[in-house]
Amino acid sequence: MRVFIFLGAPGAGKGTAAAKIAAATGAWHVSTGAMLRDLVRENSPAGIVAKSHIDKGELVPDHILAGMIGELFEAAEKDATFILDGFPRTIAQAEELDGLAAAHGAEIVKTINIEVPEDILLKRLGGRRVCPVCGASFHVESLPPKQPGICDICGNDLVLRDDDKPETVKNRLLVYAEKTAPLTGWYERIGKLARADGSGNADEAARNVAAAMG
């Protein structure tokens, strides 16, 4: 198994780039945010815990994430390539990932830090609209659906994610700066960090990220 990690602030476009690159290469796009939102929809015990953190813009406890990634590696084909979008988000999760990778013979190939200035992040998060059914993501200005407010893929009504509301966004950016941004130094020190400019449109950003993956 080969693992690529996409790092970047909320709104950096990790999910959009991962979806495009996965569609083009056959890699698996693993969005821990989407997996957690599925747990919330199922109202499972882990989902109830996850919701209480997600709604405040805080991180969900590490053991829930470790369980999800462990199950994923357990079920994966040996020749699978994964793009991890949103995991790890803390140094503790990076250590957990190292252990899981070693246990399952997975190689962490590279971490791509998708870099976007804060004013653009804020604009993106405010205009983001997602499909609550299939998880597709759009933007009212830069990536509008064909029909306003309707998902191109499954035809359901698009919504503003609860955690994209302004108060929650502020906290998510603080949590990112404090807990997730230090991961760039962590991966740089072991020679596994590449940087990609994510400030352009979705196609440009995906091209930059794909080039950084090598």
Say how many C-beta atoms besides its own lie within 10 A of residue 101's C-beta. 16
Sheet holding 28-31, edge to edge: 28-31, 81-85, 2-7, 107-115, 193-197
**Closest approach of ligand AMP to the CB of residue 28, in Å:** 16
Write the binding mask 148 to 187 for ligand AMP: x where contact by CB under 6 A, - elsewhere: ---------------x--------x---------------
* Residue type, position 179, single letter: K
Angle between helices 91-104 and 182-189 (to 10 degrees): 40
Q: Which of 30, 39, 54, 72 binds ligand AMP (CB under 6 A)?
A: 54
**Closest approach of ligand AMP to the CB of residue 162, in Å:** 10
By C-beta, is 179 or 192 nearer to ligand AMP? 179
By C-beta, is 9 or 79 nearer to ligand AMP? 9
Report the residue closest to ligand AMP, judged by CB: 33
* 6 lies in the site for ligand AMP, by CB under 6 A: no
DSSP string for residues in 106-175: -EEEEEEEEE--HHHHHHHHHHEEE-TTT--EEETTTB--SSTTB-TTT-PBPB--GGGSHHHHHHHHHH
- Whole-number Cα distances in Å, 10 to 35, 123, 127, 168, 213: 16, 11, 13, 11, 20
By C-beta, is 36 or 121 nearer to ligand AMP? 36
**Closest approach of ligand AMP to the CB of residue 59, in Å:** 4
List residues binding ligand AMP (CB under 6 A).
10, 32-33, 36, 53-54, 57-60, 65, 86-87, 89, 93, 163, 172
